[in-house]
Structure 1
């Protein structure tokens, strides 16, 4: 989406100990505040973070509802070029957060993203004496004490052993996929999920519960597959903190394949839920529906060929926006600290949003349609709250 105010701010940081770079891009401020996660991966770039920040502006705008208590913020993103499995990753994170402290305290609300878990971020911030990763939004709340307690209560909710905060995003992706399945008229859909962290794991769970067999999952070690469907619950509850599947939990009928084969497993629905730029060769894609659980997984070079073949792509700014929205719905009081209420809100909102995007996508792609809708909403937000100024 083109944004005349973009980017509002770019910060390039270098770790004084390891030399690893980190970035913060504030694409837009609304009411003086922006929203977007912090990712950690080896090779993370400023261009990547800037694209993600612009995507956050679109996600916030697309979920704008004038009748809601939650008023969307601007978009932002942080990134650190470091392997999260590195022994010094937490120390690098700590030094990054020290450097970014003025922005976190006033302008940038932030949560987990690729390579980082919320509990890790919260632990480091607490050790630094900081209130929260979202403290910049507190001045906008009607009752900060009640709002913070509501969010804390929601984070304490678990469903079948998994935290609610780790499930809402995947619930949204799965619902987007179900709408896409209905639009395409797929009668016996099967799904492949690339990435088994918070987003990918939850998406697999909700698809399986909806009766869509998950026939393959890829993690960093390779692919596990079963044409009859994997036991998602068993794998979900035994994975490690990095989304790695415990191969000892596989059934005799499950097979292990090399990671390079992840696009060769037959499935009508493809859920890329790991790294950006994962799908760069359209000829390898067999699926009829791609739902972008990850940020920017389909490259600009691959997308036109996929669209020309009739592959339906539900873009990331739509499909994976539920995590961000749930935080704010809960904090501002649109939903309570209830799993049933959260899932109902995510499902209804996602169905409405996907339908709007696909209805608009006549002569343009769903991504272009989402950009048009986001631009229109951004204009409305700007008219109500003013330009992107502090």
Structure 2
């Protein structure tokens, strides 16, 4: 495994807590990857996420579009985002990372942080924007910044477009897998871990496509109903962290332990919360046919091997949850306008082509979708490197 271009650990002088930044590679001198905040975050975790971002970026390379994928990077802070000290810690981290944010690292929301919070902290840290490193690559910086600001102001059914695009991509990956297998949507049940931005949007798009969500896990436990949960009602009853107000539950809804989502009677599992949710110890409880990784790195590699041996397909995070990042750049570079229907149509088309290509490659090579995704990404990284230079 090739080491990353940059790997650093930062220690906050006020709290003693640590933060991390890993730049896996640069393309045209710039990298892309969000900033997460969670207790227990480690440098190894951030390095794995940065490698994944390089793959996600490469998979969306299309020489016909304005958006040219960047390199991969990731930031992380070891702190509970609910901690009273979290915001001050975030500002100090961003202030310390200012040289990288100004020159080579574009970032945004990830686990534990919202884009609004990141933007506020970025301003307080004295930065222009969390994506300012990409500005020199834009043909019309003013127009691009106006377009992305307009896109973030768009709401669909009371939810921001930026909170929906990722879930739209996850849903389309799932629907593509079902279509390839000839499985009807109306007979397909879904169990999710996480009901925040990604999990909530995924649940909405899948139910509107005709699937039935039978279980949702949040920090309080799992809510289940074999006849189907009222996703729209639960969306209006969740807080900013994706926790559902139990007063909104219907008589047929049951409250189960937090890990019950794993063994729910469902064809599709969607881990949309934390990394490392599925491991060797608990993978044997899964009976679903597909696992769609809406979160980053939710299935440990050794667990994925055992799942594959049992005929369970893991749709990998580098494909499934890549639409959020791609939508940012499609909009900023001018491939998309600040318009919801156009964004959803573009995401559906792109994610369907990408997922279908990866599943087809996996079948042809007799390997897993993850291996197929990495093989395709390696081909595209070589193309971008030849076009723009090898930057490690």
TM range (shorter): over 0.9
Q: Secondary structure at the match of 1:302?
A: helix
- Select 1:174's aligned residue among 171, 174, 181: 171
Trace 1:58-69 onto structure 2 (pairs within 5 A). Answer: 58-69=55-66
Aligned to 1:233: 232
Contact 2:95/2:126 (<8 A) preserved: no
Aligned to 2:207: 208
Q: How far 1:286 sits from its partner (Å)?
A: 1.3
Aligned to 1:198: 197
In structure 2, C-alpha distance between the alignment counterparts of 1:265 and 1:282, rounded to whole Å? 13
Aligned to 1:36: 33
Aligned to 2:123: 126
Deviation string 1:309-335 (CA, Å, 9 cap, x unpaired) is: 111111000000000000000000101
Trace 1:341-380 onto structure 2 (pairs within 5 A). Answer: 341-362=342-363, 363-380=366-383
Task: Report the count of equivalent residues.
Answer: 386
In structure 2, C-alpha distance between the alignment counterparts of 1:141 and 1:197, rounded to whole Å? 32
Contact 2:274/2:296 (<8 A) preserved: yes
1:100 and 2:62 correspond: no
1:301 and 2:302 correspond: yes
In structure 1, C-alpha distance between the alignment counterparts of 2:144 and 2:383, rounded to whole Å? 26
In structure 2, C-alpha distance between the alignment counterparts of 1:341 and 1:163, rounded to whole Å? 15
Q: How far 1:128 sits from its partner (Å)?
A: 2.5
Contact 1:180/1:312 (<8 A) preserved: no
Q: How far 1:237 sits from its partner (Å)?
A: 2.1
Q: Secondary structure at the match of 1:217?
A: strand
Aligned to 1:324: 325
Q: Which runs of 5+ in 2 are unaligned?
A: none
Q: Which moved more, 1:24-33 or 1:225-234?
A: 225-234
Aligned to 1:261: 260
After the TM superposition, which segments of 4 or more aligned residues of structure 1 sit over 3 Å from their partners? none
In structure 1, C-alpha distance between the alignment counterparts of 2:283 and 2:182, rounded to whole Å? 22
Aligned to 1:314: 315
Q: Which runs of 5+ in 1 are unaligned?
A: none
**Aligned-pair Cα RMSD in Å:** 0.9
Deviation string 1:44-75 (CA, Å, 9 cap, x unpaired) is: 01000000000000000000000000000000
Q: Secondary structure at the match of 1:224?
A: strand
Aligned to 1:217: 216
In structure 1, C-alpha distance between the alignment counterparts of 2:265 and 2:16, rounded to whole Å? 43
Aligned to 2:291: 290
In structure 2, C-alpha distance between the alignment counterparts of 1:96 and 1:157, rounded to whole Å? 30
Name the TM-score, length of structure 1 as normaliser.
0.97
In structure 2, C-alpha distance between the alignment counterparts of 1:113 and 1:128, rounded to whole Å? 18
Q: Which moved more, 1:12-21 or 1:317-326?
A: 12-21
In structure 2, C-alpha distance between the alignment counterparts of 1:284 and 1:388, rounded to whole Å? 43
Q: How far 1:186 sits from its partner (Å)?
A: 2.6
Trace 1:273-288 onto structure 2 (pairs within 5 A). Answer: 273-280=272-279, 281-288=282-289
In structure 2, C-alpha distance between the alignment counterparts of 1:12 and 1:268, rounded to whole Å? 41
Aligned to 2:143: 146
- Select 2:110's aligned residue among 94, 110, 113: 113
- Select 1:384's aligned residue among 384, 387, 391: 387
